[in-house]
Structure 1
Amino acid sequence: MTGWFARRYGALTEWVDRRFGWHRLPLPLGLAVLVGVRDTLRRENLHDAGGRPAAAPFMAAYTTRRTADGAWNDLDDGAMGMAGARFGRNIPIGAVLTGDARDVLTPNPRTVSRALLTRHEFRPAPTFNVLAASWIQFMVRDWFTHGHGPASSAWSVPLASDDAWPGGELTIPRVLGDANLHSHWWDGSMLYGNSAAEQRAARTGVDGKLRVGPMRPVVDGHDPTREPGFWLGLLMLHDLFAREHNAICDRLRGEHPGWLDEELFQRARLILAALLAKIHTIEWTPAMINHPTTVTAMRANWFGLAGERVRRRFGRISSSEAISGIIGSATDHFGVPFTLTEEFVAVYRMHPLMPDDFAVRAAADDAAVGSWTLRELSGPAALAVAASTRMADLFYSFGTAHPGALVLDNFPRHLQEFERPDGRLVDLAATDLVRIRELGVPRYNAFRRLMHLEPVESYAELTGDAALAARLRAVYGDDVESLDLMVGMFAERPPRGFAFSDTAFRVFVLMASRRLNSDRFFTRDYTPEVYTRVGLDWVADNTMTTVLLRHHPELRPALRAVANAFQPWRRTDN
């Protein structure tokens, strides 16, 4: 929708949403409201921060393949979305906060961590599984990283007299800058790397295949298993999808026996990236926001409201993304060069999903295999656990266990006192707060206003819990405007079926579709000529369940009658 009608429709749907709530409406009306909300966000909440590196010279091969660093996805603007481009914004540039010391350290992030985020008792999320928690980290490793500045440049966080933080001093390294060191595109870079050197190291050089192992090999002395955030769940998914890439190569080689290593690799990469995007869109996201309206909306993003059966039988029946989906539609940047945004990064800080303790059980009969803490599964230690434990048992254990709920008082203990591979001790809860503040993302109420939501008038209105409201007031004072975005989102009462807040959902409404709309490999170039007919069929025919069963068929009993692999699996003890 464009022009006068679109603005009037957007104003109407915003009023309806504020008055009734989209999630309280019947499904057709709820969808109609979300369409209007998304169109308003597309017009008013995409802002270019500029600052892109120079792309390498164009080569004809780039018309049908993804580059290592994300350059030349847009053939008219080669640097758009490439690694090293600045993050964009979902708020006007003038609304970005300065990130000075007073803003970043007030209220004290360590105080907030200890008083409002500490997990005293694990609070599970019963409707999805730990595999879903692993998945989002796997995706984030593809989507973004700011990097870290030098150790000499750090925020020094004052400690309370009763804080027993080891060493008596808490420092939080500053971010390196406001550029994304990864490609902004949804291109599987966690498997393939973001540079030609990383890509060469990841490949075998034979039949287009990847090396199968815990992570990409060491490149220029950089060991991915020693990056902060590496743990067993990341290792498992890296192994699974490296194998899936190789299975795609085998299928392509059978169909095209004359193709050499480079052609097989490039086509398989396209196909796997699309499969990852599909799994995230129609499986992971509906597991996390399991409301009838959003489940329908996410499937419509991929297949259109005409549905999967029509898409598979007839292809696209309309140029409209609403009817036939975004996939294969016209590429659209909505007037703003594509990037991921700082606000997108902020709402994906979901560390409470991680349990502190993991029990591993056998896929065959649910018998106990072993137990480890999150600390014991993090960093290079994860390699030893993976080497001594059957991968099918690990997936079974993650599939049948619950992650943590995204609420206050549920931040993993092992992440509040986490030793990085370089030996630095960090409170990741305090670090998350500092990151959001120093990157200029507004506080909770200001953020809601900028995303076309009503601000809350009080802590009691936000939480519906007098005791929790009193605890928030004790930390933030009487001024609800000072409430941190992350704390507000964890305190908020979400829509039915939602794992996260409606505030966070506003960024997803906008960016979940934008990442597809802007990428020509999901839109105008989603064709047999680019992917091959076999490649398009591979994406259409596969799900997270089929990928798991292809490489670990012994999981079949646990996945029997499970509609979505990110929801709890069937235990095999009965």
Structure 2
Amino acid sequence: MSTYRQTPFWRAYTALAGHLDRTVGWDRMPLPLGLAVLIGLRTALRQDNLHDTSGLPSAGGPDPGPATADQRVARTVDGAHNDLDQPAMGMAGTRFGRNVPLDAVRDESPEDVLHPNPREVSRALLTRTAFVPATSVNSLVAAWLQFMIRDWFSHGTSPADRPWTVPLAADDPWPERPMQIPRTPDDPTRPAGSPGPQTRVNVLTHWWDGSQIYGVDAREQAFVRAGHGGLLRVLDDGRLPLPEDADLDPSRVPGFWVGTEMLRTLFTREHNAVCSRLAASYPTWDDEALFQRARLVVAALIAKLHTVEWTPAVISHPTTVTALRANWFGLAGERLHRLLGRISESEAISGIPGSRRDHYGVPFALTEEFVAVYRMHPLIRDDWDVRSAADDSPVREYAFGDLAGPKALKVLADVSMSDLLYSFGTLPPGLVEMHNFPRALQEFERSDGHHQDLAATDILRSRELGVPRYNAFRRLLRLRPASTFEELTDNADWAREIRRVYDGDIEKVDLTVGMFAERKPRGFAFSDTAFRIFILMASRRLNSDRFFTEYFTPEVYTPEGLAWIADNSMASVVLRHHPELRPALAGVGNAFAPWRTTATGR
């Protein structure tokens, strides 16, 4: 447990903030008071909701290798040596942490993992009956989230043996009997039968380092690099090359679709633009120096865009917009930050980048609870109307299945990138709520030919990984649990449906179901419960990374690199590589908000 701000003043502050939040609600307060309450809530979360799994029994972990001088100014491919004193912290192959006490992590019995039946939960509570759009944002929001997840976390390839067998109702049209859901891979660093809750490892790095572009091992990185000028490989037609080695082919990895490849292509080209800028200023730098500095710049730009554009777009309450932008610029604001730089050592006043690094007394790791709240598949549409960026005329209609896996490659070959970006920018995603899970993902055909109900899988995964169910989760975050189904949701039909599926036991309601059903704060596309993990972990990923804190300097990034980060937005990145999209983005303040249609100019 963290020792962060454990003083009488801060204990009183956090207690008062929690009381006001429970009795009034931070989202119902005037902006200054709401911000003060959020500061108190984040402080309490840092104190009580960071828990270390690295001290549990271990039979060894990944080897960070020896330190080198180059690692002081460059990210390693596997995330090692970010913390120079603890070189294995956050590297690929290390454990997920927890946001709940380790004694609250239940190793659920097989009976509990399968009850209520995950497939019944999927069919009865999550199935999209009619598409409910999130009208304040566009579908780049959905593509961006998947693009980020491919950088943040993965439990790895599930073993073929010992799958979960899920019973099916007689009227269930599932094409395979029985339904089988692969298990999450075991922790290879954990001795069998050792005491304490089970742990899992992240096969990606825990750092915010752009690994979805640069790879997470030497083979992947060697393939994407051009070998000269620091550049990444781009084909003459603007697409990215795919390896002949099936093990490296991203199109065969679950989760690959047009949205993620579209953004990977965009930021690969952005990397090359940064390289050109650095090469002009530092003509003696070799391929390695240009590559590593450009990677630092692009990773930081992506982190900035997620912090100050994507997240405020999907949780657009005035208080959260101010708070999230303050993570990067501080409450002093962007204008003063650009004019004077840091005016205070405080992250609250001058933002996290360039501040003092802080792990809050707990070694840094992404958490299983962070993984759980990012299960936002309702953002994905089932039907995609691709239109021309030039005049909004129809190009083609696609089902989501046509945009996913190897089939996506044909779409990327047939449709211009500008038309895809324009279509994503003008189509709304789905709202993250009950009865809005895409049918295409409930009936998903994987690249290996097997079928998967991702809604049932999402439910089962949280149980399997010991993530507390909804009410227990809220208690551990100091939120009031729902005492009745009517208190859980203000939708009377949903309350009846949830009661039936969970046999009247409110304590059995899964985290995902509760988050999808609960009342959302104004401007939110997802739940307030999920937001609590966001306000803790979104800042922690910046606070713990030396390249976003003490090493966020001109000496490491170069003055040109820091200027690139400061001067660019998602819109400017898009327009640098696709200037033909300027009419669609004219007057759009945030590129994750709906774009103008070129047919009407609206």
Normalised to the residue count of structure 2, the TM-score between the two structures is: 0.94
Aligned pairs for 1:277-426 (under 5 A) are 277-426=303-452
* Selected match of 1:161 from 170, 175, 179: 170
SS at match of 1:167: coil
How far the C-alpha of 1:2 sits from its partner, in A, is 4.2
Residue of structure 1 in register with 2:301 after alignment: 275
Using the alignment, how far apart are the partners of 1:216 and 1:239 within structure 2? 12
Deviation of 1:220 (Å): 7.0
Give the whole-Å Cα distance in 2 for the aligned partners of 1:79 and 1:12: 38
CA distance in 2, matches of 1:148, 1:494: 34
Counting only pairs closer than 5 Å after superposition, residues 51-450 of structure 1 correspond to structure 2 as 52-177=61-186, 178-212=200-234, 213-214=239-240, 217=243, 221-450=247-476
Picking from 537, 554, 561, the partner of 1:535 is 561
Partner of 1:41: 45
In the TM superposition, what whole-angstrom CA distance separates every residue of 1:167-214 from its partner, at most 9, and x where no partner exists? Answer: 322000001131000000000000011111211111010100111234
Structure 1 residue ranges without an equivalent (≥5) = none
Distance in 2 (CA, whole Å) between partners of 1:308 and 1:473 is 48
Shift of 1:464: 1.3
The one-letter code matched in structure 2 to 1:18 is: R
C-alpha distance in structure 1 between counterparts of 2:257 and 2:312, whole Å: 25
- Partners of 1:235 and 1:163 lie apart in 2 by 34
Aligned to 2:190: none
Whole-angstrom CA distance in 1 between matches of 2:515 and 2:268 = 35
Q: Percent identity?
A: 61
CA distance in 2, matches of 1:138, 1:219: 22
| Residue in structure 1 matched with residue 491 of structure 2 by the alignment | 465
Contact 1:444 1:481 in 2 (8 A): yes
Distance 2:244 2:135 in 1: 38
Structure 1 residues 528-574: Cα deviation after superposition (integer angstroms, max 9, x where no partner): 00000000000000000000000000100000000000010000102
Q: Residues 373-403 of structure 1: CA distance to partner in whole angstroms, max 9, x if unpaired?
A: 0001111111111111111010000000001
Give CA-to-partner distance per residue, 1:260-297, whole Å, 9 cap, x none.
Answer: 10000000000000000000000000000000100000
> How far 1:5 sits from its partner (Å)?
1.1
Residue 27 (1) aligns with residue 49 (2): no
Q: Deviations over 1:501-520 (max 9, x none)?
A: 11000000100100000000
Q: Is the 8 A contact 1:148 1:174 kept in 2?
A: no
Alignment coverage as a number of residue pairs:
574
Match of 2:111, SS state, is helix
Q: Shift of residue 216 of structure 1?
A: 6.0
SS for the counterpart of 1:358 is strand
For 1:295 and 1:167, the matched residues in 2 are separated by 46
Contact 1:214 1:236 in 2 (8 A): no
Q: Is the 8 A contact 1:347 1:504 kept in 2?
A: yes
Counterparts of 1:501-512 in structure 2 under 5 Å?
501-512=527-538
Two-structure CA RMSD over aligned residues (Å): 1.0
CA contact (8 A) 1:215 1:239 kept: no
Aligned-residue offset at 1:153 = 2.1
Q: Could you give the per-residue CA deviations for residues 90-129 of structure 1, whole angstroms, max 9, x where no partner exists? A: 0000000103211210100000000001112111111101
User: Which secondary structure state, in structure 2, belongs to the residue aligned with residue 411 of structure 1?
Assistant: coil
Q: Distance in 2 between matches of 1:423 and 1:338?
A: 38
CA contact (8 A) 2:233 2:240 kept: no
- 2:526 is matched by which residue type in structure 1? F
Q: Who is 1:3 aligned against?
A: 7
Which residue pairs with 1:452 in the alignment? 478
TM (normalized to structure 1)?
Answer: 0.99
1:16-75 deviations in Å (ceiling 9; x for gaps): 100100000000000000000000000100001115422111111101100000000000
